[in-house]
Amino acid sequence: MEKLSVIKVGGAILENKDSLCRLLDDFAALPGNKVLVHGGGRAATRIASGLGIESQMVNGRRVTDEKMLDIVTMVYGGLVNKQTVAGLQARGVNALGLTGADMNVIQGYKRPVKDVDYGWVGDVDCADGSMLKTLIAKGIVPVMAPLIHDGMGHMLNTNADTIASQVACALSAYYDVTLTYCFEKPGVLRDADDDNSVIRHITRENFQRLVQEEVISGGMIPKLENAYDAINKGVTCVMITRADNLDGSRGTLISG
């Protein structure tokens, strides 16, 4: 099986011109098949604020009423996505910007209201890798915005980590997939205050031990659980690292 990298980067990287340029350079330099998944929350908050609309976050998720849905649709699917695509085209990467609605790549449903009404936030029903595979085989590099659709004419706001995981799992039917999550730290740290304490390799076995020993705790536990969920669904391995390390030479490798 050919290798393929799915790289997820947050919106903060894309908001700053210098870090965006660096990211696009690094992503363009990655050899082989690849997919970029981006966020855009900061830009959405900025544009919403300019339009006099306040962003409301609950548990780190954006409450998405009808007006906010228009904003994330235009900011994620238009502004951030197309600027990224144009930037990659300038670097010789034949990028194609997509949401889950395009070619019906990711369909889902409006999150049912329990304690919180998140509005037009979507949970994923299914992701289809077949059209992506056809395009990737022709040298196209998909660039995915964190939006899906409900099959009934509505766009839905979806977390970029989820998009990355869904696309990685769908493509693992055709490729040996590495899924890379970029965040603000160089990897999973033994000591949260020491960037040089990156744990280089986590397996299922030492993951349990690291949790018992409380080396891994807090928000890092769901991150790693999500990584193992992707591995259970076919992804070969997951890398957690910083965006300035796309080649994976540093960072934490998570495998089965």
Pick the binder of a copy of itself from 19, 56, 89, 206 (CB under 8 A): 89
Pick the binder of a copy of itself from 58, 86, 116, 192 (CB under 8 A): 86
Q: Using an 8 Å Cβ cutoff, are 187 and 251 in contact?
A: yes
Q: Using an 8 Å Cβ cutoff, are 121 and 111 in contact?
A: yes
Q: How far is CA 229 from CA 140, 168, 203, in A?
A: 27, 11, 13
Q: How far is the CB of 231 from a copy of itself (least distance, A)?
A: 30
Does residue 16 touch a copy of itself according to CB under 8 A?
no
Pick the binder of a copy of itself from 9, 101, 177, 237 (CB under 8 A): 101
Q: What are the DSSP calls for 117-162, one per residue?
A: --BSBEEEEEE--HHHHHHHHTT-EEEE-SEEE-SSS-EEE--HHH
Stretch of 31-39, 94-102, 174-182, 196-204 contacting a copy of itself, by CB under 8 A: 94-102
Q: How far is the CB of 245 from a copy of itself (least distance, A)?
A: 23
Q: Using an 8 Å Cβ cutoff, are 42 and 20 in contact?
A: no
From residue 62 to residue 81, the character string flagging contacts with a copy of itself as x (rule: CB under 8 A) and all else as - is --------x--xxxxxxx-x
* Phi, psi dihedrals of residue 68, rounded to the nearest 5°: -70, -30
From residue 32 to residue 51, the character string flagging contacts with a copy of itself as x (rule: CB under 8 A) and all else as - is ---------------x--xx
Using DSSP's 3-state secondary structure scheme, residue 197 falls into: coil
**Residue with token string 């696309």:** 167
Binding residues for a copy of itself, rule CB under 8 A, total: 42
From residue 229 to residue 248, the character string flagging contacts with a copy of itself as x (rule: CB under 8 A) and all else as - is --------------------
Does residue 126 touch a copy of itself according to CB under 8 A?
no
Does residue 167 touch a copy of itself according to CB under 8 A?
no
| Helices 17-29/81-90 angle, 10° precision | 50
Q: Which of 215, 214, 247, 240 is nearest to 226 (CA)?
A: 240
Whole-number Å distance between alpha carbons of 100 and 178: 20
Question: Would you tell me which residues interact with a copy of itself (CB under 8 A)?
Answer: 47, 50-52, 70, 73-79, 81-83, 85-87, 89-90, 94-99, 101-104, 131, 134, 138, 140, 147, 149-155
